[in-house]
Amino acid sequence: MKKINKQNLILRNQIQQAFVERDILTFAENPFVVSMYCSFETRRHLCMVMEYVEGGDCATLMKNMGPLPVDMARMYFAETVLALEYLHNYGIVHRDLKPDKYVCGTPEYIAPEVILRQGYGKPVDWWAMGIILYEFLVGCVPFFGDTPEELFGQVI
């Protein structure tokens, strides 16, 4: 179950984004997109009851294993490509791909056009996929910075 603090959603101006996520997960029928069974609200939280995915997320896997073996990286990458193609066919752009989303808006995965505020579309997801594949194989992201500004300077 994903439990989201409502106050945090308000502070980050992400209320609409949370409801869009709920709607997408409710509608999506794809073996590579996690299914959502139901959602409900409490006084303090928005809760989404989702399919259990054994094995956890890829960020935890990489933390424990280091760089992934090529065959494992290929499998996770291919599964995510299929999920992205499915979402893109419905006009849905993820915009926040990163290994901890893989059960499969961190700065390391943001595409140059988003940094430059030039709008975005499906290519921002493919940029993030390239960063993720690099991280799968090498064990770290290709761009570093002590601040988001320093990191963005390397990207653009």
**Please, is 39 exposed, middle or buried when counting C-beta atoms within 10 Å of its C-beta (0-12, 13-18, 19+)?**
buried
Answer yes or no: are the C-beta atoms of 99 and 59 closer than 8 Å: yes
Answer yes or no: are the C-beta atoms of 46 and 6 closer than 8 Å: yes
Q: 57 catalytic, yes or no?
A: no
User: When comparing pLDDT for 55 and 52, which is higher?
Assistant: 52
Choice among 23, 57, 71, 96 that is catalytic: 96
**What CATH class does 58-155 carry?**
mainly alpha
| pLDDT averaged over every residue in the chain | 84
pLDDT at 70 over 90: yes
Say how many Å lie between the first and final Cα of the chain, rounded. 37
User: When comparing pLDDT for 85 and 112, which is higher?
Assistant: 85
d(CA 85, CA 78): 11
d(CA 31, CA 14): 27
Ranges in the chain annotated CATH 1.10.510.10 = 58-155
Ranges in the chain annotated CATH 3.30.200.20 = 2-50
Query: 19: which 2 tokens?
Result: 């409801």
Task: Report the CATH architecture of 2-50.
Answer: 2-Layer Sandwich (3.30)
